[in-house]
């Protein structure tokens, strides 16, 4: 553990007593491609499984911490800074930390985990318990209050389904990016809508309300201009931002938009079903209950054409035991709860010995 580093992120600790008297804390971190959130939570037993009682002491925010996008050095600096800020805001320091759970996108293999664990070992005292996970795992934990059981479906710009059995087996479906078929995602929906506009324009497809709505949203005058628009900046998030336009066209009765959303529902449901089937989450009789955590802009229940609700309907047909949960806390809190649960299991294990 280093007391001083370039950038002096830990200087605030010099002005505080570096003692073990402070209230013990846990750090939970959710690192995505757009932003990174870190929360500092008091390490105390939760009175019940309710989100109202989570003792969050501080929250800090930073940019991208995906090493694939910004490189290893920048990712590491961002992670260190956002954790230091959360500790400083909570009036705490590194000696008070009992556990850290980093849930970051781009963690797919044990080698990714090991590399990030090494960074953390360099920052924290040796008594601190360290956990590294894929960000989908924190999203699951945000719905189950830290319990790793069930399946999470994330559908924002991208999409992934990720599940765990109670005995620790895991499986995922989708999450491989748009080239590799994440068609239920926000990007997928918007790309299909753009395609529908081009096809209506060149005579390959039926006319659709999407043409005028999308051109208006993008401040373009002709469908031909969409070619230049997509080439100018093919970032997935920019394209996915068109999802609300598709939803509102579908709500106005546009058949093409309706079909695009129905296809998306089937794709998203197929991801969850694949995970549930592989893990046997619905039990031998097919009726066991399991948490189904729903996260991401595409699944938000604020529209008449409710994609999330339709996905649940499709899944429930095959798996009536699916218990849909829309998390009330953010994934960073899920990560902290995950760390807390690991700690509890470990101390139970120690008591048993």
The pair of three-digit structure tokens given for residue 77, joined into one six-digit string = 């600096």
**For residues 349 and 332, what is the distance between their CA atoms, to the nearest angstrom?**
26
The pair of three-digit structure tokens given for residue 157, joined into one six-digit string = 């710009």
**For residues 128 and 11, what is the distance between their CA atoms, to the nearest angstrom?**
20
Q: Does 227 bind a copy of itself (CB under 8 A)?
A: yes
Contact string (CB under 8 A) for a copy of itself, positions 50-69, x = contact: ------------------x-
Q: Does 71 bind a copy of itself (CB under 8 A)?
A: no
Q: Residue 277 Cβ, how far from a copy of itself at the closest point, in Å? A: 6
Q: Does 172 bind a copy of itself (CB under 8 A)?
A: yes
Q: Does 280 bind a copy of itself (CB under 8 A)?
A: no
Contacting range for a copy of itself; rule: CB under 8 A; set: 7-15, 19-27, 219-227, 330-338:
219-227
Tally Cβ neighbours within 10 Å of residue 285: 7
Q: Does 214 bind a copy of itself (CB under 8 A)?
A: no
Q: Does 202 bind a copy of itself (CB under 8 A)?
A: yes
Contacting range for a copy of itself; rule: CB under 8 A; set: 30-38, 91-99, 178-186, 281-289:
178-186
**For residues 255 and 234, what is the distance between their CA atoms, to the nearest angstrom?**
27
Cβ proximity to a copy of itself, 27 vs 191, nearer residue: 191
Question: How many of the chain's residues bind a copy of itself (CB under 8 A)?
Answer: 35
Q: What's the number of CA atoms in the CB half-sphere (13 Å) around residue 54?
A: 30
Tally Cβ neighbours within 10 Å of residue 24: 15
Q: Where are the alpha helices (DSSP H) in the chain?
A: 67-70, 72-89, 110-123, 135-144, 186-202, 210-218, 225-232, 236-240, 243-251, 255-279, 307-318, 331-352
Q: Please tell me what DSSP assigns to residue 124.
A: S
Q: Residue 274 Cβ, how far from a copy of itself at the closest point, in Å? A: 4
Q: Residue 205 Cβ, how far from a copy of itself at the closest point, in Å? A: 9
Q: Does 240 bind a copy of itself (CB under 8 A)?
A: no
Nearest to 339 by CA among 103, 135, 32, 126: 103
Residue among 54, 174, 240, 247 that touches a copy of itself (CB under 8 A):
174
Helix, strand, coil abundance in the chain, percent, nearest 5:
50, 15, 35
Q: Does 320 bind a copy of itself (CB under 8 A)?
A: no
| Site residues, a copy of itself (CB under 8 A) | 68, 108-109, 171-174, 176-177, 179-181, 191-192, 194-196, 198-199, 202-204, 224, 226-227, 230-231, 234, 239, 270-271, 274-275, 277-278
């Amino acid at each position: 553990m280093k007391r001083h580093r370039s950038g002096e992120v830990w200087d605030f600790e010099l002005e505080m007593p570096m003692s073990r008297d402070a209230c013990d804390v846990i750090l939970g971190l959710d690192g995505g491609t757009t932003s990174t959130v870190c929360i500092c939570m008091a390490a105390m037993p939760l009175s019940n499984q309710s989100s109202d009682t989570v003792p969050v002491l501080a929250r800090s925010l930073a940019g991208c911490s995906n090493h694939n996008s910004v490189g290893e050095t920048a990712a590491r600096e961002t992670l260190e800074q956002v954790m230091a800020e959360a500790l400083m805001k909570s009036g705490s320091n590194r000696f008070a930390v009992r556990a850290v759970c980093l849930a970051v996108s781009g963690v797919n293999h044990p080698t990714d985990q090991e590399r990030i664990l090494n960074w953390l070992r360099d920052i924290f005292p040796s008594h601190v318990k360290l956990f590294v996970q894929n960000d989908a795992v924190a999203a699951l934990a945000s719905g189950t209050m830290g319990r790793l059981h069930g399946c999470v479906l994330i559908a924002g710009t991208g999409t992934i389904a990720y599940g765990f059995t109670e005995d620790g087996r895991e499986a995922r479906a989708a999450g491989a990016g748009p080239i590799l078929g994440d068609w239920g995602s926000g990007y997928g929906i918007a790309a299909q809508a753009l395609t529908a506009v081009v096809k209506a324009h060149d005579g390959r497809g039926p006319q659709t309300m999407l043409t005028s709505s999308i051109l208006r949203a993008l401040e373009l005058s002709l469908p031909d201009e969409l070619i230049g628009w997509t080439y100018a900046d093919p970032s997935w998030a920019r394209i996915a931002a068109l999802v609300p336009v598709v939803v509102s066209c579908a709500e106005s009765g546009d058949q093409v938009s309706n079909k695009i959303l129905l296809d998306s529902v089937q794709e998203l449901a197929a991801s969850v079903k694949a995970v549930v089937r592989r893990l046997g989450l619905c039990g031998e009789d097919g009726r066991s209950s399991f948490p189904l955590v729903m996260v991401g802009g595409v699944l938000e229940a604020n529209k008449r054409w409710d994609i999330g609700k339709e996905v649940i309907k499709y899944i429930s047909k095959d798996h009536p035991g699916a218990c849909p949960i829309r998390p009330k806390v953010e994934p960073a809190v899920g990560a902290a709860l995950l760390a807390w649960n690991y700690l509890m299991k470990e101390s139970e294990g120690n008591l048993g010995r």
